[in-house]
Amino acid sequence: MQNLQLNPGFVPNEYDVFAGLDVGKKSIAATFLDNYGTMKQVKMPYNSQQLINYVHNKYPDKKVAFVYETGPTGFGLYDDLTSAKYFCMITSASKVPTEPGSRVKTNRIDSKKLSENLRGGQLKNIHIPTESYRELRHLVQLRDTVVQQLKATKLRIKSLLLLKGIPFPGNENKWIRNTIYELREIKCSIPIKYHLNKLIQSLEFFHKDIIEITRTIRSFCKTDEEINKNIDFIKSIPGIGFITATHLIARIGDWRQLYRFDQIGSFVGLVPSERSTGDAIRRGHITRMGNTNLRNKLIQCAWTAIRTDPELKEFYLRILGRNRNSYGSQKAITAVARKLTLRIYAVLTQQKYYKINKSDNKIL
């Protein structure tokens, strides 16, 4: 779960009690703070209904707002609290203000910090996807996991051959269909052959798994009209294919909650960091916030896009011309990837396919 937007519907003055929740696997540490500074801290088992009953009994006539940090427990508590007609915010732990020099961290202190910051209106809400987007996110995360396992197995094979001084057949950076056959034909000792064959079996297993998961993702997307339509909108942008489109939709969620043109770029960490003071403006490397796999996919799409879209190629060369150093191409392609996020925002918010008008290079 990553931070994507503020919650424009939350006004602290409209609430009487602010509940900060430090949610663990088995328990919840809760701090209830009112507008007069009265504080009550409790600890209870991780049970949504028990928490709701406690609030009903202790604050029957009060308007209560809840907040907790992102974590492995997911959105279940949020769903239960909102179903009970309570306001609930989920915030990123990295965005919670922390007192400088603080060296003590406990569940009670964390819950107190959350309730105080909620009352002060200092917390940002993450984007909370609906159920269909959550299910798609499970599938794309699973595919990413298996892809990483596939890459790790390839590295193990290359490391084994390097250790035994056996040349890799063909180009080790480009695995083709014949590569597996050539690996099986390598002459070596029985133990090394057994080790190598086991790694090849794992490689083939992960490859088949990726194909199966991709088919499942396609099948799932076709069952949801909105998801399928938005994937098609994103795929109409030069350079972006089905896999990246599904990962984007799974992470972004409902396009109606996009409200700023640079929001997607910020979400995936493709905007420059900045340390400015006075009239001096100092911008540095990209923030690298958000999902690393998604950011890498967008950069890969950018390389494809500059080969198929003349406008993006011209943009890439212009940035590269201003940065004639060892990092020039990396900086230029990152700028192209960020430009792709602007196009993604446009097609989603306008609900239109991307089409270049040759006269002015705008979406039709």
Q: CA-CA distance, 103 to 195, in Å (whole number)?
A: 48
Mean pLDDT by 10 residues, the chain (364 residues): 50 95 95 94 96 96 95 93 95 85 84 95 88 95 96 96 93 87 93 96 97 97 96 96 96 88 87 66 72 92 95 94 87 94 95 74 49
Q: CA-CA distance, 243 to 235, in Å (whole number)?
A: 9
> Given 119, 149, 166, which residue is the final one in a domain?
119
- pLDDT of amino acid 282: 61
Expressed in angstroms, the distance from the first to the final Cα of the chain is 33
Global pTM? 0.84
Select from 300, 338, 304, 301 the least CA-distant residue to 319.
338
Radius of gyration of the chain (CA): 25
**pLDDT tens-digit readout, 271-329:** 877 666 666 666 667 777 778 999 999 999 999 999 999 999 999 999 999 888 878 89
> Given 223, 253, 288, which residue is the final one in a domain?
223
- pLDDT of amino acid 278: 61
Query: How many domains are there within the chain?
Result: 3
- pLDDT of amino acid 189: 94
Cβ pair 243, 337 in contact under 8 A = no
Residues 159, 181, single domain; the answer is: yes
> Given 223, 255, 273, which residue is the final one in a domain?
223
**Within-domain flag for 356:** no
Domain span including residue 294: 227-350
Q: CA-CA distance, 353 to 232, in Å (whole number)?
A: 8
Other C-beta atoms closer than 10 Å to the C-beta of 341 total: 22
Cβ pair 46, 135 in contact under 8 A = no
CATH code: domain of residue 83: 3.30.420.10
- pLDDT of amino acid 3: 39
- pLDDT of amino acid 8: 53
- pLDDT of amino acid 277: 60
